[in-house]
Chain A
Amino acid sequence: MIRIFTLDEFDPALIKALTKSLYTAFGVGSEHSGAVTVPHGQQEPYDANKLLDAMPKLQALADDKVLFLTSRKLAPRKLVSGEAPTLGLSRYGQQRAVVTTATIKNVADNVKLLARYAMQEVGHTYGLHHCLDPRCAMYPQWTPSYALGEASFCTYCRDSSDAKIRTTKS
């Protein structure tokens, strides 16, 4: 099950469309599990790593994935090779991921792009890496062609995610 927790207010139709996209992409249940408040001490733009560490423990099964959705900005991460744009972040092979809608213009009309961001972060939690195919949702998000793709995986990533989901089912 993919559980979506909202950190800010969102249009229910948007959340419904997002859950539908995630269900189609991964073939596992997806639902809006409620709203949570950001822990004290977090300021916009959020540090995505600190935010994921600071979020309270939520009711979820071992193979559930938790996706936090926020409309606030996430600060770019400073890495050894430069600054990485942060549109979302996840813990590889673990449970938690966060996605922001701050960089998407007119989110209500652009659910497809939000679904692609969410698919990538949830895909990372299933152990998928970045893909070489620009049409795939696992392609790096900061490339210009990313926004043009559909909310779907390439054949290789779809097969990989299917295999991971099968093996992690409790």
Chain B
Amino acid sequence: MPDMTSLSVGDRLVYPNQGLCSVTEIKTEEIAGQKLTFVSLVIIETGAKVKVPREKLEKNGVRRVSTADDVKKVVDYLKSDSEKASLDWKKRARENTARLSEGGLLGLAEVVKGLQVLSELRPLPPKERELYNDARHLFVEELSAAMGVHQADAEDAFDILLFVPGRDRPKRTAEEFAGLAGEEDELGLEGDLIGIDGGEEPETPESEVEKAEEGESEGEGEDEEAPKKKPAKAAAPPAAAKAPKGKKTLISDVEVTMPATLALTENLPKKRGRPPKPKPAVAEPPPPPKKRGRPPKAK
């Protein structure tokens, strides 16, 4: 991180996620008995004004504009065929957000190239398309400032590496990303951990949601058929999810003391209503039929 203590008016800085800005004023003010030095910045593109204490500049990720060496590193990086974005959208979003705020010029290049390579496998969803555009915009802006050229030249400088002249983009296959996907889901817990860490739920196609809703509505009123329609995941939920609150599950005891058939019947959902009366093992002879009419008078 370059030194931020030797700032002067007119210096150009990069504010994370905002773009290029210039220092307009450095002033010491007394607030609540404390003397603080404030740096006033103007975002060049939007004209927005920001006033930041000098001590917080580095904490906020404000940095100086990249140098020619950084540009060379970025060009080398873009020439290499190394970047493969993670197929796990949650991990990808986390990484890209961190790169945008802390990664510098190389971080921006990583986001742009990663998403561009991913788009060669499948179209980007709208949110990522927006992220790609934002990253590209910040990247072009900083690159043009670092190289001292117009933005059109800066964008073309890295686009002739990403979109090679005279050649169409290659079609990627899922196998090329498979190595990364295997690392993420080593334990096979990805599906079970959804929602536990407080993260968002994965995107579900609308058609699947509709189908699930239709299934639920059909299942109402057909209590006996409903369990059959449930997916395999519901038939064998994880042990922690089955356990009632405040009680421990004794899976091992069940397995040891119960026969397998009984253990399986334990998992079946109970029928509603009063249980049927137990039938006697041997049927008793029916009582003799009563005679109709008035009983005879006593003599």
Chain B 44-82, CB-CB to A under 8 Å as 1, else 0, gives 010000000000000000000000000110010011000
CB distance from B237 to the nearest CB of A (A): 41
Bound-complex Cα distance A89 to B156 (A): 10
User: Is there contact, CB below 8 Å, between A142 and B166?
Assistant: yes
Answer yes or no: B158 CB below 8 A from chain A CBs.
yes
Answer yes or no: A71 CB below 8 A from chain B CBs.
no
User: Is there contact, CB below 8 Å, between B168 and A129?
Assistant: no
CB closest chain-B residue, reference A154 = B129
CB distance from A126 to the nearest CB of B (A): 13
CB-CB under 8 A from A81, the residues of chain B are: 75, 78-79, 157-158, 160-161
CB closest chain-A residue, reference B140 = A129
Bound-complex Cα distance A91 to B152 (A): 7
CB distance from A23 to the nearest CB of B (A): 24
- How extensive is the interface on chain A, given as a class? 20 to 34
CB-CB under 8 A from A77, the residues of chain B are: 153, 156
| CB-contacts of A131-163 with B (<8 A) | 132, 134, 139-140, 142-145, 156, 160
User: Is there contact, CB below 8 Å, between B119 and A132?
Assistant: yes
Bound-complex Cα distance A140 to B126 (A): 20
Answer yes or no: A61 CB below 8 A from chain B CBs.
no
Answer yes or no: B89 CB below 8 A from chain A CBs.
no
Answer yes or no: A13 CB below 8 A from chain B CBs.
no
A91-B150, A144-B167 known, 7 other contacts, Cβ within 8 Å: A49-B150, A77-B156, A92-B140, A132-B129, A140-B159, A142-B160, A143-B166
- 13 sample A-B contacts, Cβ–Cβ < 8 Å, listed by A number: A79-B149, A79-B153, A81-B157, A81-B161, A84-B153, A84-B156, A91-B152, A92-B151, A93-B45, A129-B133, A129-B136, A142-B163, A144-B166
Q: Interface of B with A (CB < 8 Å)?
A: 45, 71-72, 75, 78-79, 116, 119, 124, 126, 129, 132-133, 136-137, 140, 147, 149-153, 155-161, 163, 165-169
